[in-house]
Amino acid sequence: MKKTTALQKMLKEKKILVMPGAYDCLSAMLIQKTGYKAVQCSGYGFAASLLGLPDCGLMTFTEVLEHTRNIVNSVDIPVMADGDTGYGNVVNVVRTVREFESCGCAGINLEDQIWPKRCGHMAGKEVISEEEMVQKIRAAAWARRDKDFVINARTDVRQKYGPKEAVKRAKAYWEAGADLIFLEAPQSLEELKYFASELVPLGIRISANMLDGGRTPIVTFKELENMGYSRCSVPVMTTYAAAKGVEQALEQMMRDGNNQNLEDKIIPFQEFNKLIGLPKIREIEEQFMSDCAIDLKYGSKVQLEEEKNRGR
């Protein structure tokens, strides 16, 4: 089954699809390893990990595209791109959709902010008109070559114009051809329920965003599922967890004057090599390298097998 089709199928199921945010290939691989069925690329995480800067529209289209391409190639599960605003007008949106589709993504987020955009839970957001965003969604739906490629239309209108305007735009974006509606930053449990009650009975699939420390109250995935949400992204948890874990390990090493007692804070060498695919490299070498080349590289096939078993 194509990844686009798989993602569409999961979004149509009664069970909510939880998509943790990946900031790089390693985080995406861990998302897959721990059993999640799809990956959401995190623009916030991209900006933090690649630039060391906040999510304020500072990354270029090509930077995001190339980083996303690497993530897609690192996992076997569907990946949804963070397409921000589409990087311009309807013409830019067409290219944005086609480039992300070509690199293997199963879907894309497109939002109605004015560029440069910013994280949906930061203050100071501005939005384009409903009419302009409707045209962008129409262009995005037209641009995709695979009808199952998911167009996830995000509206950031709540912060400035309120929940009723968010519902109004959600309906318009759905009618324009979106497959999923992402209502960003509701500010209470009541608003989460309101969005669901207004849209789900109409057959509109909706997505929530559980951002650690953000404007929206954190509720369980089951609660969102019971409200009728089809999808939940958890965009920044992996970024925060990685930063905290590295910080704690570095602080302990500074205190101890060595790195001898970090077993509870790091993945062992052999296990990490397995995670990043070293055994597959060994298999390719065994299949295609000549005996002479293996002898030069490892000493013998027996030694190669021993090193493979040791995970190094």
Q: Is 41 in contact with 143 (CB distance < 8 Å)?
A: no
Give the residue ranges of DSSP H helices in 51-148: 61-74, 90-102, 130-143
Q: What angle do CA 169, 173, 176 make, to 5 degrees?
A: 140
3-state secondary structure of 162: coil
**Residue 305: per-residue pLDDT:** 78
Q: Is 137 in contact with 90 (CB distance < 8 Å)?
A: no
**Residue 301: per-residue pLDDT:** 78
Residue type, 307: E
Q: List 22's β-bridge partners, or say none.
A: 41
Which are the contacts of 219, defined by CB distance < 8 A and separation ≥ 6? Answer: 189, 192, 210
Domains of the chain as residue ranges with CATH:
3-235 (3.20.20.60), 267-310 (no CATH)
Helical packing angle, 278-288 and 301-310, nearest 10°: 170
User: Which own/partner pairs from 304-308 qualify as long-range (CB within 8 Å, at least 24 positions apart)?
Assistant: 307/282, 308/279, 308/282
3-state secondary structure of 211: coil
| CA-closest candidate to residue 232, choices 206, 200, 258, 251 | 206
What are the φ and ψ backbone dihedral angles of 230, each rounded to 5 degrees?
-90, -25
Helical packing angle, 90-102 and 61-74, nearest 10°: 20
pTM over 0.75: yes
User: Which own/partner pairs from 175-178 qualify as long-range (CB within 8 Å, at least 24 positions apart)?
Assistant: 175/134, 176/134, 176/135, 176/137, 176/138, 176/141, 177/137, 177/138, 177/140, 177/141, 177/142, 177/151, 178/137, 178/141, 178/151, 178/152, 178/153
CA separation for the pair 130, 75 (Å, rounded): 36
Q: Is 262 in contact with 269 (CB distance < 8 Å)?
A: no
Q: What's the first-to-final CA gap in the chain, in angstroms? A: 34
Q: List 211's β-bridge partners, or say none.
A: none
Per-residue confidence in pLDDT tens, the chain, 312 aa: 999 999 999 999 999 999 999 999 999 999 999 999 999 999 999 999 999 999 999 999 999 999 999 999 999 999 999 999 999 999 999 999 999 999 999 999 999 999 999 999 999 999 999 999 999 999 999 999 999 999 999 999 999 999 999 999 999 999 999 999 999 999 999 999 999 999 999 999 999 999 999 999 999 999 999 999 999 999 999 999 999 999 999 999 999 999 999 999 999 999 999 999 998 998 898 899 888 888 888 888 778 777 777 777
What are the φ and ψ backbone dihedral angles of 56, each rounded to 5 degrees?
-130, 35
CA separation for the pair 188, 98 (Å, rounded): 36
Which are the contacts of 56, defined by CB distance < 8 A and separation ≥ 6? Answer: 47, 116, 117, 118, 119, 122
